[in-house]
A and B are shown apart, each in its own frame.
Chain A
Amino acid sequence: MGLMDLFRKKTPGDIAKDRLKLLLVSDRAGCSPEVMEKIKNDIIQVISKYMEIDAEGLDIQITQTESEGNNGNVPALYANIPIKDIKRSS
């Protein structure tokens, strides 16, 4: 990124490219919204065993991340799970 880019606002062209990149990762992974919903529900179940989470605020999506093994970008499952309260283990 050049110095100029720091001051530059994202153009509609840039936004389109960024949106497409994300979209195509999940398209190519063949993850339908139904499958994502199932994954989400399973995650809620598992995490709920250990802590109280905000199921409404939970957000999961498939994105790209830099591979550690030099394979370039690889798909990654990203989950943002807001915790309400950490249960004390009994």
Chain B
Amino acid sequence: MSEVIVITSGKGGVGKTTTTANVGTGLAQLDKKVVLIDTDIGLRNLDVVMGLENRIVYNLVDVVEGNCRMKQALIKDKRYPNLSLLPSAQTRDKSAVSPEQMIKLIDELREEFDYILLDCPAGIEQGFKNAIAGADRALVVTTPEVSAIRDADRIIGLLGANEIKQTELIVNRLRMDMVKRGDMMNINDVTDILAIDLIGAVPDDEQIVISTNQGEPLVGSDCLAGKAFANICHRILGEEVPFLDLEIKSSVWGKLKEIFKKN
């Protein structure tokens, strides 16, 4: 049975597209048949993060309007035979698609794929409504900042009101050095406030920028962010995976200094 997961956040720029690319690629690495759908009509981005921007012929709006068949619009990722992308339209706007049309499109994809991941646009308007219409499950991405958390709380409320049963949290861009100094909220602070289950904590990692520049998701690679995304994929499959130890190990001298600083 296939599962439809929307990746959403409310606020822009917190890492929805990066998360979609990495979780999707990670699930494909685990031998699942995966399709990624970019639902941000007018501002398509998932194609570049995936490094598939040069292979777009048709897009989501073309499929909905019947200009092409689904097969023609899906881009198969040559690196992972199980992974496909349905790109968004760049020259149209959110009103080109309705929630009913999204549900129909997703139902067609359910027959072929194990996981259908929807990259949701920022905001709570039409684009958001389209993205969540056909979803069974939601991953809410936030960063440990007041603005992102406030928006995430609003989104969690809206997901509940739209009867999405399973909603889980990803805390992205944690700066453990700042958390340690007390300059940033820690994971427990964020989960306390939002009161939903945590499915992943991803550290701020330079490798993410590098991987986006190259158009190659880094899930499964040896860096901390790569491991964190791989763990999220296992948890999506229902496996219990302990959370990574993101703590920065400090020397005895460093610990002493901290004790004095605190008082």
* Interface residues of A, Cβ cutoff 8 Å to B: 4, 7-8, 11-14, 16-17, 19-21, 23-24, 27-28
Q: Tell me the chain B residues, 174-202 only, with Cβ under 8 Å from chain A.
A: 178-179, 181-186, 189, 192-193
B146 interface contact, C-beta 8 A: yes
Contact B181 A17 (CB under 8 A): no
As a 0/1 sequence over residues 144 to 172 of chain B, the CB contacts with chain A under 8 angstroms (1 = contact) are: 11100110011001000000000000000
Contact A13 B183 (CB under 8 A): yes
Looking at the assembled complex, report how far the CB atom of B186 sits from the nearest CB atom of chain A, in whole angstroms.
7
Q: Taking CB as reference atom, which chain B residue is nearest A21?
A: B193
Contact A12 B182 (CB under 8 A): yes
What is the predominant secondary structure among interface residues of chain B facing chain A?
helix
Q: How many residues of B contact A (CB 8 A)?
A: 21
B262 interface contact, C-beta 8 A: yes
Q: Tell me the chain B residues, 18-64 only, with Cβ under 8 Å from chain A.
A: none
* A24 in complex: contacting residue of B144, B153, B262, CB < 8 Å: B153
Q: How many angstroms between the C-alpha atoms of A75 and B25 in the bound complex?
A: 43
Contact B185 A13 (CB under 8 A): yes
Contact A19 B146 (CB under 8 A): yes
Q: Taking CB as reference atom, which chain B residue is nearest A10?
A: B182
Contact B153 A17 (CB under 8 A): no
Contact A24 B150 (CB under 8 A): yes
Known: A4-B263, A8-B262. A16 touches B146 (CB 8 A): yes
What residues of A have a CB within 8 angstroms of the CB of B189 in the complex? 13, 16-17
* B154 in complex: contacting residue of A7, A11, A12, A27, CB < 8 Å: A27
Q: How many angstroms between the C-alpha atoms of A14 and B262 in the bound complex?
A: 14
